[in-house]
Amino acid sequence: MNDRTIGRAGFLGILGVGAVGLFLAKDATGLLDRAIPSSLSAVVPTSGWRIYTVGSSMPTYDPATYRLDVTGLVGSPVSYTLADLKAMPRAEQVSEFHCVTGWSVIGVRWAGVRIADLLAAAGAKSNVAALRFVSAESPYDDSLTLQQALLPDVMLAYEMDGEPISRPHGAPVRLVMPQMYGYKSVKWVNRIELGATVVPGYWEQNGYDADAWLGNSNGFSS
């Protein structure tokens, strides 16, 4: 098993070794210690991306066939190409990314579409209270409340560090939710379902908190 194809067992396995890693981390990552919430610094064993999937292969982006469908509480379902998404107001940010297993990446540059702009374009109904982000990598999905999705640093990103999002990182679009653990940041998003209630996501069905706030959810103890 390697990080590129790490699955559910790998995720849970890494949780097991996290406690060992933290003893190495304390002195080695002074920079990280300062950059992340102090409650997190003790459990950061490394820095740098690890590529996660729950399936055995990564979805392939084909510009000719890719669509982002917005369904549910919307006037009528809409379907966007990547070009359509890029024609919406462009947002940029630099944010941190923290996986619940203990690794972090700071200073990630993202560009993409704010959820508010997407909802406006799609004609979302006023009774939308939750958004379910569905991955082309079945069965991965996760949801946010409307309030969470409208936080100013949440976006549907199509660029990372100045380049189109690569296939391992979720091409062509992934969710970015920096204030929650990485499992909320669904890769290879191809459908957003607008609903009235939050639907428990892939990892929530495995015991993780739906409200996966950094340092304030069950990520450490489970």
Ligand X SMILES: Nc1nc2c(c(=O)[nH]1)N[C@H]1C(S)=C(S)[C@@H](COP(=O)(O)O)O[C@H]1N2
Q: Is 54 exposed, middle or buried (0-12, 13-18, 19+ CB in 10 A)?
A: middle
193 binds, among Mo ion, ligand X, none (CB under 5 to 8 A by kind): none
The contacts of residue 2 (CB under 8 Å, 6+ apart) are none
Q: Quick one: which segment of 21-29, 32-40, 98-106, 158-166 binds Mo ion (CB under 5 A)?
A: 98-106
> Does the protein bind Mo ion through residue 183 (CB under 5 A)?
yes
Q: Exactly one of 73, 85, 99, 157 binds ligand X (CB under 6 A); which one?
A: 99
- CA dist list (Å): 62 to 59, 71, 110: 10, 21, 21
- Ordered DSSP codes for 149-162: HTSTT-EEEEEETT
Number of residues forming the site for ligand X (CB under 6 A): 17
Q: Exactly one of 29, 95, 135, 190 binds ligand X (CB under 6 A); which one?
A: 135
CB nearer to Mo ion: give 172 or 219. 219
Is residue 124 a contact partner of residue 164, using CB atoms and an 8 Å limit?
no
Between residue 41 and residue 60, which ones bind ligand X under the rule CB under 6 A?
49-54
**What mask, x for binding Mo ion by CB under 5 A, covers residues 143 to 162?**
--------------------
Whole-number Å distance between alpha carbons of 163 and 160: 5
Query: For ligand X, which residue has the nearest CB?
Result: 182
- Give the count of beta carbons closer than 10 Å to the beta carbon of residue 26: 13
Residues that bind ligand X (CB under 6 A): 49-54, 99, 135, 137, 140, 169, 182-183, 185-188
Residues that bind Mo ion (CB under 5 A): 99, 182-183
